[in-house]
Amino acid sequence: MRLVLLRHGESEWNSKNLFTGWVDVDLTPLGEEQARQGGLLLREAGLLPTVVHTSLLTRAVRTGNLALEAAGRVWIPAGRHWRLNERHYGALQGKEKREILQKYGEERFRLWRRSYDVPPPPADPDDEWQVVSDPRYAALPRDLMPRAESLADVIARLLPYWHDAIAPDLRAGHTVLVVAHSNSLRALVAHLDRLDREEVMALNIPTGIPLRYDLDEDLKPVQRGGHYLDPEAASPWAPRRWRTRGVRDRRSPTTLVDTRHLLELWSYQITKPDCDSAETRRTHVRPPRKGC
């Protein structure tokens, strides 16, 4: 059984360094190209999905569509569900990350972003970025509509969809593509690989690079951690701005285009890799190699 996970391409708010969560924003032109590149990787690997599942958010839906178009699989059945949505960032949604860091300090900032079971402050009912009235959630009971979520909350709300929709497709022999978000994919990987709390907190899913899992009859990974179709680009040593803003030129696998931010540094972000910001390690930071 074959499962492929794909994180959506760069969104408009990724490029502005804003907390996004459940706010529905589109892909940037670069994000669109990343999605296509992900589809090309699928096609080149002969890993052709027969069914796709995405969240209800435009950036994931469009990433799936663009990737499948590049892979020649736009016609396959699709399932879409709010349980695959990104983590709800509560009152932080729409806020600039640097602004939140400066206002609340590094300890609280990191607690809200990296802890396993501590959610950020909940969104007010009249918050401008609240999505209660969004028609895509019309059938969602109000008591299930989150106002803020921790990573543990994301795992808990994602698993019913895994058991009810994705797992049956896998058992039916489908090659399943799941296109979602940093935290919802972290939640799924945590379940597949039986990660402990510390492992989940350290886990990062790079943008636009398909992650393949071969599963046994019990839906357990044959190889823990799966296999990225572009391992070099998925490496935690690849600066995240390099990974998300430099798309590989298919004519030259070692050439990156659109390297606007390749050497940009961030005072508060040069720490261990983080799931939704441009971060590398404080120690042993490796510069890009020649030709990259």
Catalytic residues: 8, 86
Cα torsion angle, 74, 78, 84, 85, sign: positive
Residue 20, marked binder: yes
Residue 284, marked binder: no
Instruction: Single out the residue of 140, 144, 162 nearest to residue 153, CA to CA.
Output: 144
Residue 86, marked binder: yes
Residue 266, marked binder: no
Residue 97, marked binder: yes
Tokens found for residue 36? 């296509």
Question: C-alpha distances in angstroms, 284 versus 238, 280, 281?
Answer: 12, 9, 7
Residue 113, marked binder: yes
Residue 21, marked binder: yes
User: Cα(259)–Cα(243) distance, rounded to whole angstroms?
Assistant: 10
DSSP one-letter code for 238: S
Residue matched to tokens 């690849």: 238
Residue 198, marked binder: no
Residue 279, marked binder: no
Phi, psi dihedrals of residue 255, rounded to the nearest 5°? -100, 130
Residue 114, marked binder: yes
Report the interhelical angle of 58-71 vs 29-45 (nearest 10°): 40
Residue 103, marked binder: no
Phi, psi dihedrals of residue 115, rounded to the nearest 5°? -70, 160
Q: Which residues are annotated as a binding site for substrate?
A: 7-14, 20-21, 59, 86-89, 97, 113-114
Q: Which residues are annotated as a binding site?
A: 7-14, 20-21, 59, 86-89, 97, 113-114
